[in-house]
Amino acid sequence: MTGIIDYNAGNIRSVELALRALGAEYRISKKPADLEDADRLIFPGVGEAKFAMAELRSSGIDSFLRDWAASGRPLLGVCLGSQIIFDHSEESDTPCLGILPGVVRRFPADFPALGRKVPHIGWNDLAWRNGGSRLFEGVPEGADVYFVHSYYVEPADPSAVTATVDYGFPVPAAVRKGNVEAFQFHPEKSGEHGLRMLANFAGVPFRPRGEGGAPC
């Protein structure tokens, strides 16, 4: 069973619909006790880092996430959830969960002058790095996935980066360290490629739409 963490800062509905379409068993909760028996966790998120961390602390989910990651069970961060698993965010100078070493940086202030918009919104092509990830099984390199973000992760260990996209420089799009993985993009909004990644994480078979599979 896949647990989905609800902490008032998550893109919960879209993740729920994606797992339902895949036929994956899941449970959504704001209470750590409800998720203790899950086999894996998805930690989604949209919004601002400081608010999200305050919500996590007030509910005790911050400690729950740290303990979960330390236990060796699979954890997948998505969008904001991929950022605040690191040590610190430049957004409102926010101390984060510290599950993975590294920082979260804002895109450069001169990006508009260079023809790049902030936030980075839209589709971009993935390039595998450092051997990629098992979650990419069945997904071709160069697959388009959907982004909405003004900040990006900078892991202390560059070998943790499993995919990048070109947005003025190679922006980390996915990271992996042991049992912890994270996607800056939204797999639940990234069509069949994103659904296949979620199926790989949830441990369920994926069937393309032409074969009676999940809608995108």
Active site members? 79, 186, 188
**Amino acid, single-letter form, for residue 159:** S
Contact 41, 2 (CB under 8 A): yes
CA angle, 101 then 30 then 184, to 5°: 40
Beta bridge partners of 149: 120
CA-based nearest residue to 5, from 38, 29, 36: 29
**CA–CA distance, 146 with 37 (Å, rounded to integer):** 31
**CA–CA distance, 23 with 35 (Å, rounded to integer):** 19
Query: From the centroid of its chain, how far is CA 157?
Result: 18
CA angle, 66 then 71 then 75, to 5°: 65
